Structure 1
């Protein structure tokens, strides 16, 4: 009887695998999220080594690494969570981890700039694995699935960001690039095996659905065009308006066609649910704040004051490893369990939670806008911004998940994840533009760096992004009340 009680029977009468252990599932989900975020954030400290080792003539060439990761991630965020709905959580997770493994293996074997670009594309696609735990935790943990899944996603994301930054600094000081990619290949291969062994192989969650090939390829194309503009706009100048225009027009046309499609990539009804569209916009804004803060901090912290003229001098002169440690409070804030806020989200008070997160973020950014020349000031700002971002991400992913049934959990994660990718690219592009507006020369290397005053302005820009969250949710609530009033009359 005990053995039978540990199994779940589906409608076709076939017994599934034994009910998985909650701790094991949470552990493998956290591993996927930490690994994928660490891979992304381990790159910034490695850029000087990559540029020197592969003889890259300009910094612009190194930005293609981010572009490759972002474009690969744009496709992965769309496809992998949907594959989990239609072909099973284990299959999608193993496929994602395998992409990460091959992506790390290619530059480890090739040890060249072209193979590194190819590897970044593959790792970017596999990086969408960070969204898959939302689906398999929800489908296997019952009533607590959404709350636990979102908590694991948010907490592990913060940990992965700082692990990546600290790990990148450690690698700079102790390992070669090739050694790093060999080690990363081993870790990703072990993660692939862990996914196969621990994630239940249940029947597909959505048996009758299918992926619309045309709509999927179309969406990947217009999202990629916009991401390409955001990541390479400064390098291309006005020429970047071409892919931007193609992406915007293609996106508008895609939405019109998808509304009438019988095999839509994303369920149109999902986007019409209360607060869902606003939540996706808010996720994008919080991601933009996240990337803006990390770029501003990592850039300022590693400038050596003595390498600038006295009139231009600024910076903390930290190593890449020390910079990663400076971000530790950001990750620690993600570890805070928001039980009260989770209850508020479950009771339909998502607007209030978004506002709280945005105001906390904005206060931390304003603090750094006026005080960012001492390490202790960054420690305080990182903790406050991390807390606000944690609340915002939790609210966004929870609201979107609650709008769909369990069998479409992957699709909902894909919508939110795509919004996050676009927002992150936008925040990076915005601050990159800010830090390029006025340059001053360094004395030893001869390279130009951003003028000191641009950092304060950058934090003010990020604070405006945070306040746009408040505007977004208040407009959404007003429109919802207006619709209810119209239907009532």
Structure 2
């Protein structure tokens, strides 16, 4: 079973750090939720804006617009590694203010520059600041005592679902009512206000890990190999077989990094943490759930916005929805994230993480199987989105909770960063998988010179995503079997 580190305040223990000015619980939770909603909304507001961006900046192909995702993903990969460690070593307020400031500056650059190069630069900074979504796990755990882990994970999971749909709906609203520049001005103002709120409400406590330090070489090395893999996943379709070169470089670099980090006195991620039962499995599972999540969203949003009237009768499919209507179609996904899993949370704290993962994986697989055979009507997507939201909510909650339970309070953000890095890679992989699937066979849009994916590819995409969900079951069962063998060897 997973080694559980009880939060300070249990069983009569003294708090690990002094808290002379205890923050208001509701205010702290509100700021944490704001950080998570804002960062996820920034990411998911882009899909409805892509046609506007392509037209306004005169981009020749859709492939050029994918660099926006690449910029966000690369910035996020660096942020997930660095910002949580800064919180452990230099304080929660400092890291949260820095993350919010990166978001604000990232939005301000395209608002002022109003060009595609400035938008790419802004996306890199906003991606880096997007790691702010992980920071509430640390500062809520450190300030809410015995409820800190449960509340922190609940805030992260629920606000993520809300942020996704806020971004999708907000993007659709902007497409229909505002200019692109006006949007970035508003976003910069909201991020600036979040920076002020973070400074005013998050306690300025002593660093959680006073004796620790950031290993510069290990951190830069990790950012490099993670970025190489993310770059391959986001641009692989454009590069073709040449993408195998950076992919191999990234994988080899990652393997070498792990070997060096095991002997480092200032490791980026604690090796002992990753060796704890179910921790590595939890990180792999969150990557799989993130891949399933991104694949589902890309399949749904693409299908919904294709109009059957513009295609030849033999090729016709789609719902003909606007960007705003597509965002509303995703609402059940977010509503499912609001479901409180009290029974499942109790199972996680009692060391029964494997059954929780299996429930989440099978629920997601059921939703994807449904969509694989039924996705030509609006209500089909509403049902599928609700089931998928519930499965992903269970999976995310289990992953983040078990990783947090494996570490003491002072390394809460290190654990969050490890899980977040796997999540970023998984999200990029799911997007790449579905993009490849939807590019396998194209049909023309008469009179436009454009092409869209053939109808049958959507069912294939959902089945492929279902396989990813079932791999969660395989992962946790293998992890439990290995843990059982190690326990048996130790007993003998």
Indicate whether the TM-score tops 0.5.
Answer: yes
User: Cα distance, 1:239 vs. partner?
Assistant: 1.2
Counterpart check, 1:83 vs 2:93: no
Aligned to 1:212: 215
Aligned to 1:264: 267
Aligned to 2:70: 67
User: Cα distance, 1:238 vs. partner?
Assistant: 1.0
Counterpart check, 1:153 vs 2:156: yes
**Distance (Å, rounded) in 2 between the aligned partners of 1:282 and 1:289:** 10
Q: Identify if the C-alpha distance between structure 1 residues 375 and 475 changes in structure 2 by more than 3 Å, giving closer, same or farther.
A: same
User: Cα distance, 1:10 vs. partner?
Assistant: 8.4
**Distance (Å, rounded) in 1 between the aligned partners of 2:338 and 2:450:** 39
Residue by residue over 1:340-383, the C-alpha shift from the partner in whole angstroms, topping out at 9 and shown as x without a partner, is: 00000000000000000000000000000000000000000000
Equivalences for 1:460-471 in 2 at 5 Å? 460-471=463-474
**Distance (Å, rounded) in 1 between the aligned partners of 2:243 and 2:225:** 14
Contact 1:222 1:250 in 2 (8 A): yes
Counterpart check, 1:229 vs 2:232: yes
Aligned to 2:483: 480
2:443 partner SS: strand
Aligned to 2:186: 183
Q: Identify if the C-alpha distance between structure 1 residues 11 and 162 changes in structure 2 by more than 3 Å, giving closer, same or farther.
A: closer
1:224 partner SS: helix
Residue by residue over 1:366-418, the C-alpha shift from the partner in whole angstroms, topping out at 9 and shown as x without a partner, is: 00000000000000000000000000000000000000000000000000000
Residue by residue over 1:2-55, the C-alpha shift from the partner in whole angstroms, topping out at 9 and shown as x without a partner, is: xxxxxxx9889xx75510000000000000000000000000000000000000
Deviates more, 1:97-106 or 1:239-248: 239-248
Give unpaired runs (5+ residues) of structure 2.
1-13
**Distance (Å, rounded) in 2 between the aligned partners of 1:410 and 1:444:** 53
**Distance (Å, rounded) in 2 between the aligned partners of 1:155 and 1:445:** 41
Residue by residue over 1:77-125, the C-alpha shift from the partner in whole angstroms, topping out at 9 and shown as x without a partner, is: 0000000000000000000000000000000000000000000000000
Give unpaired runs (5+ residues) of structure 1.
1-8
1:73 partner SS: helix
2:452 partner SS: strand
1:433 to 425, 432, 436: 436
Aligned to 1:339: 342
1:260 partner SS: coil
Aligned to 1:6: none
Counterpart check, 1:391 vs 2:408: no
Normalised to the residue count of structure 2, the TM-score between the two structures is 0.96
Normalised to the residue count of structure 1, the TM-score between the two structures is 0.97
Aligned to 1:118: 121
**Distance (Å, rounded) in 2 between the aligned partners of 1:110 and 1:81:** 30
User: Cα distance, 1:446 vs. partner?
Assistant: 2.0
4+ runs deviating over 2 angstroms = 9-12
Contact 1:289 1:462 in 2 (8 A): yes
1:449 partner SS: strand
1:36 to 30, 36, 39: 39
Q: Identify if the C-alpha distance between structure 1 residues 99 and 366 changes in structure 2 by more than 3 Å, giving closer, same or farther.
A: same
Residue by residue over 1:432-484, the C-alpha shift from the partner in whole angstroms, topping out at 9 and shown as x without a partner, is: 00000000010242211000000000000000000000000000000000111
Contact 1:345 1:395 in 2 (8 A): yes
Counterpart check, 1:25 vs 2:28: yes
2:315 to 305, 312, 315: 312
Aligned to 1:172: 175
**Distance (Å, rounded) in 2 between the aligned partners of 1:446 and 1:156:** 41
Contact 1:17 1:202 in 2 (8 A): no
RMSD: 1.0
1:108 to 107, 111, 119: 111
**Distance (Å, rounded) in 2 between the aligned partners of 1:150 and 1:348:** 17
* Number of matched pairs: 479
Q: Identify if the C-alpha distance between structure 1 residues 142 and 11 changes in structure 2 by more than 3 Å, giving closer, same or farther.
A: closer
**Distance (Å, rounded) in 1 between the aligned partners of 2:288 and 2:207:** 33
2:262 partner SS: helix
**Distance (Å, rounded) in 1 between the aligned partners of 2:159 and 2:209:** 27
2:239 partner SS: helix
**Distance (Å, rounded) in 2 between the aligned partners of 1:331 and 1:18:** 35
User: Cα distance, 1:487 vs. partner?
Assistant: 1.1
**Distance (Å, rounded) in 1 between the aligned partners of 2:412 and 2:197:** 22
